[in-house]
Structure 1
Amino acid sequence: MKQRIVDVLSIPFINTTKDQLVKDMNQRISRNEKTFVVTANPEIVEYANAHPEYKDILMNADYIVPDGIGIIMASKLMKQPLLERITGFDLLHDLLELADQHAYRVYFLGAEQNVIEKAADILQRDYPNMILAGYHHGYISVDDAELAASIAAAEPDIIITALGFPRQEEWVTLHNPLFEKGLFMGVGGSFDVIAGKVNRAPDIWQKLNLEWMYRLIQQPSRWKRMLVLPKFALKVLSKRK
């Protein structure tokens, strides 16, 4: 039997397939169980290990999902291979497919106003049976309790936050008590991709695990964030030894 959790530099990743994870999440949604999902890559692991308060947030998540080929490679180097890479973008669409099948209520939070409007329109068209409980741009204060209360009042079954880490996870942790139910998941810049503001890497880049390079070419300003990758790799190699 495969190990259910694999630690990568002290962050516990769920060791499962995307299909099984989606089934598990659907069961939790149908039972009105509050669920906190974090899709984590090496940047998030490095940030968490450097910021104890953020790491505490991650440790309280119901699922930490391996989003990032670096996490998969690290697990293999440590001889605890994770079964599958599960990207936040793909998981988002799987959740929306569930919403379409079961008429779940979904709320979108994040991105610029014109981006979230366009993304919401596209997703409502693509998933017509999904109930759009509402949406709001991401230029907010994380501690805006009034906005959070209005989102809770919409009684969403799925709450998608696209505020970028660490803000999206901080928002969920801070306002989770206001909600009686709901699956919460942060998706970074996914709404920008859905709205066409940013292009997702073509399939060939994805198959070669070079999405990170494609994003860097599209957004050169990300180069500073990429500096954590060699640090992450060195720590994994050191731990392996």
Structure 2
Amino acid sequence: MQKNATDIQGIPFYPTTIKEFVHQELKERIDEEKQTFIVTANPEIVEYARVHEDYRNMILQADYIVPDGIGIIIASKILNKPLKERVTGFDMMHEFFKMDTKRPLRVYMLGAEEEVIVAAAKKVTEMYPQIELVGYHNGFFDLEDEELAAGMAALEPDIILLGMGFPRQEKWIIKYRRKFRKGLFIGIGGSFDVLAGKLNRAPDIWIKLNLEWLYRLLQQPSRWRRMIALPLFLLRIIKQKITNP
């Protein structure tokens, strides 16, 4: 467990802010070519890890687990170990692209549908011409495809962004990260869909009111079953608080 981590249902969350995390801690690791595995976890991921021990063991191998989801922030406050702020995959992705590194940042994007990843890659090169987008590939491939991983490793990216959703993106990282000499590996869920314009990011006012989850649900009503995880998660947090006051 990371120093000063906040334990939420046995998952150690790293207390940090996006700016501090990306532009200080992770920048140093990238400059020093240290391999890094980051999990951005929300209540749904915590609940999934609770009932799937293999997945739980995977994410506990991460160098950092950060709070992506207002439910995690609420839980940390209930437990009197408040985390500083949400550290979302989407926001970190943009901060990575702005990072002032010793040399041009080499990025690989893996995930989403073919038309989405193509559009997202085009957007990145237009918005951030200072980075080197060394490659991209859609997320519809066999996880046993070792040639894809070997080809990616040969490009020596500094950051590998995986937008395949959990648990698939973490399974890929655990399976193939050892093929890479260096690299920061991070699962960012549906961020490529937003970057490509397939989905809209919630307006600032919705984010400030902690209603981004509702905005996304309105865009994707089929997600309602997944939202059931949040009240169940908070009930477990209350029980954890009562058991360990």
TM-score where L is the length of structure 1: 0.97
Aligned to 2:20: 20
**Structure 2 stretches of 5 or more lacking a match?**
none
Alignment of structure 1 residues 29-178 onto 2, 5 Å: 29-98=30-99, 102-178=103-179
Preserved CA contact (<8 Å) 1:103 1:129:
yes
Aligned to 1:195: 196
Aligned residue identity for 2:13: F
Identity percentage over the alignment? Answer: 54
Alignment of 1:157-236 (within 5 A): 157-236=158-237
Distance 2:100 2:107 in 1: 7
* Structure 2 residue identity aligned to 1:143: E
Cα deviation, residue 143, structure 1: 2.2
Q: CA deviation at 1:102?
A: 3.7
Conserved in 1, the CA contact under 8 Å of 2:107 and 2:133?
yes
CA RMSD, aligned part only? 1.2
CA distance in 2, matches of 1:143, 1:230: 36
Work out the CA distance in 2 between the residues paired with 1:30 and 1:38: 20
Give the aligned partner of residue 9 of structure 2: 9
1:116-138 CA deviation, whole Å, 9 max, x = no partner?
01110110111101001100000
> What do residues 24-62 of structure 1 show as CA deviations (whole Å, max 9, x unaligned)?
011111111100011000000000111111111111101
Local SS of the residue matching 2:82: coil
State how far apart, in whole Å, the 2-side matches of 1:165 and 1:99 are. 29
- Superposed structure 1 runs of 4+ greater than 4 Å apart: none
Please state whether the residue corresponding to 1:98 is helix, strand or coil.
Answer: coil
C-alpha distance in structure 1 between counterparts of 2:21 and 2:75, whole Å: 21
3-state SS in 1 of match to 2:66: strand
* Contact 1:36 1:183 survives alignment (8 Å): yes
